Amino acid sequence: MSGGYRPAMRRLLFRALIGVVVVLLVAAVGGYWYARPLLITGTGYAAHNACAVVHLAGRAVPASDLPPNPLVPHLVTSVGADQARTTIRGVLAGQTAWYTAGYGCTLATTRPVLPPATPVSSNALTTAATPTMTQATTALVAAAFGDELAESERTGLGTRAVVVLRDGQLVAERYAPGFTATTQQLGWSMSKSVTNLLVGRMVAAGTVRVDEAGLDPAWTDDRRLITVDQLLRMTSGLSWDETYDLGTPITRMLYGEQDMGAYVASRPLAHPPGTYQQYSSGSTTFLCSVLAARSGGADLPRRLLFAPLGLSSAVWEVDATGTPVCSSYLWATPRDWATIGQLALNDGVWQGTRLLPEGWLQRSVTVDPVATSEEDGYAAGWWANRRADGSLVDPSLPADTYSANGHDGQRLFVVPSAGLVVVRLGFSPGIARDSLRTAPLVAGLAALPR
């Protein structure tokens, strides 16, 4: 019996070992698939960033635009002639971003097929001479760059560009080392405010109406009541979570969906349309999927907005289906961002031609009273300083101030009473809004004599 007992025991032990290995593999695979939404957020962010920073903005060190993240030490990124790919340790959660001239970088499993990009000529601001700043203006801009701070604090503040227009003239301009007037910079959610202008162009052309509903043929429930205006004002009621975390709608949309608009359209209602205001990049991106499907597709922003304004540096990146990612992915030089602000200041008139309906901006920066709101001062794609009840969000700024605000400290301010447009771009992860030094900059400039 002893002779047969030992082989039997070995077989039992071997089977037990195989079982343990299988359990460990299943656990590892299960753990990977559980964590995969977070992992592809990291690899997608890094791949898109590397592709755009190198191929679009012409900068050499894309890692300098990666915010602190536990995944960063494990990311492996390779940049090719027209794409960038990032994985975890060279193996897991791989994502590829493809570069296309005129459309920037797109996260997709295969290279997207996009239409020819409408050519865009430069505007006069692009070639304007560098302004001679007054002593007062120089001091205000220096404070916005944190000149008096220690080097580490100044780096943390992260100001990369300040451009100021006064009565349509370039009066102040400064850039951080490594950045110039021709360096394209990502506006992140400042793109939402430009989406407002794009909608205005289409309203002027009669292509859409702000009160138009029934925006998705598949909506047969109360989502069919959602209007263009509610998408602009983020009162659509579509279920959303803007938290950049494991499996949230925003990270899934940007880094896990080929058709971002369709994904947003699939979201259920969390609130009746028009009753609850909640910040949602999904609302803006879905809106652009509707606009692009009606006129121009991926080329829509270039044809309707960039060409008339001469925004030759502007690139609005698209998803794998060719929908402009209107919530987040507009790149432009600081001077072209200032041009966008000047169009708003002019109430949609550019070089004597009306591009937007008369009164469009006044309506767009007026906050509507909503039963419940999570957003202080959010209007129709723009942040207003005057709330619906007339009180001020920031009493240090002129009451008529409004702004486009983006992730990591991107800001575009318009102050009609002072004839002022102020652009501040940078990389400021973790810096609170009140610590960006933009309010003192804008308030100080507005107080200067014209």
pLDDT digits (tens, 9 = 90+) for 58-74: 999 999 999 888 889 99
Q: Please report, for the chain, the start and end positions of each structural domain, with discontinuous segments joined by +.
A: 16-107, 124-447
Cα–Cα separations (whole angstroms), residue 144 to 3, 42, 393, 415:
85, 31, 21, 18
Average pLDDT, the chain: 93
How far apart are alpha carbons 134 and 114 in whole angstroms? 46
Please give the residue that has the higher pLDDT: either 131 or 29.
131
Cα-based distances in Å from 136 to 128, 139, 159, 445, 450: 22, 5, 19, 9, 13
Does position 262 have pLDDT exceeding 50, yes or no?
A: yes
DSSP assignments along 333-355, one per residue: -HHHHHHHHHHHHTTTEETTEE-
What's the average model confidence in pLDDT over 290-310?
96
Given pLDDT bands bounded at 50, 70 and 90, which one contains residue 21?
A: very low
Residue 22 has pLDDT above 70, yes or no: no
Tens of pLDDT, residue by residue over 359-380, are: 999 999 999 998 899 999 999 9
The Cα-based distances of 37 to 34, 41, 44, 94, 245 in angstroms read 7, 6, 10, 12, 9
Q: What whole-number distance in Å separates Cα of residue 91 and Cα of residue 36?
A: 13
> 308-356: per-residue pLDDT in tens?
999 999 999 999 999 999 999 999 999 999 999 999 999 999 999 999 9
pLDDT band at 430 (very low <50, low <70, confident <90, very high): confident
d(CA 81, CA 357): 43
What is the helix, strand, coil percentage profile of the chain, to 5? Answer: 40, 20, 40
Instruction: Give the list of residues 6+ apart from residue 216 with CB closer than 8 angstroms, or none.
Output: 223, 224, 265, 290
Q: Whole-angstrom Cα distance, residue 330 to residue 188?
A: 7
Cα separation, 266 vs 140, whole angstroms: 47
For the segment 397-408, the average pLDDT, to the nearest whole number, is 97
- The average pLDDT across 111-126 equals 96
User: Cα dist. 442→137, 142, 163, 189, 336 in Å?
Assistant: 11, 13, 11, 20, 19
Token pair 């767009």: residue: 364
pTM: 0.92
Q: Which amino acid makes up residue 312?
A: S
* Residues 124-447, CATH architecture: 3-Layer(aba) Sandwich (3.40)
* Confidence (pLDDT) at 197: 98
* Residue 324 backbone phi and psi in degrees, to 5: -60, 135
Residue type present at position 257: E
How confident is the model at residue 276, as a pLDDT? Answer: 97
Query: Alpha-carbon distance 305 to 381, whole Å?
Result: 16
Characterise 377 by phi-psi region: left (phi > 0), alpha (psi -120 to 50), beta (else). left
The encoded tokens of residue 92 equal: 């897991």
Going by pLDDT thresholds of 50, 70 and 90, the confidence category of residue 245 is: confident
pLDDT for the residue numbered 19: 40
- pLDDT of residue 218 exceeding 80, the answer is yes
Tokens found for residue 196? 């407002």
| pLDDT at position 123 | 96
Q: CA-CA distances (angstroms) from residue 164 to 57, 132, 341, 413, 424?
A: 22, 12, 10, 10, 9
d(CA 296, CA 316): 13
11 has pLDDT over 60: no
The Cα-based distances of 368 to 39, 275, 363, 437 in angstroms read: 39, 11, 10, 28
Beta strands in 27-69 (DSSP E): none
**What whole-number distance in Å separates Cα of residue 252 and Cα of residue 324?**
17
Q: Is residue 23 pLDDT above 50, yes or no?
A: no
Higher pLDDT, 16 or 380: 380
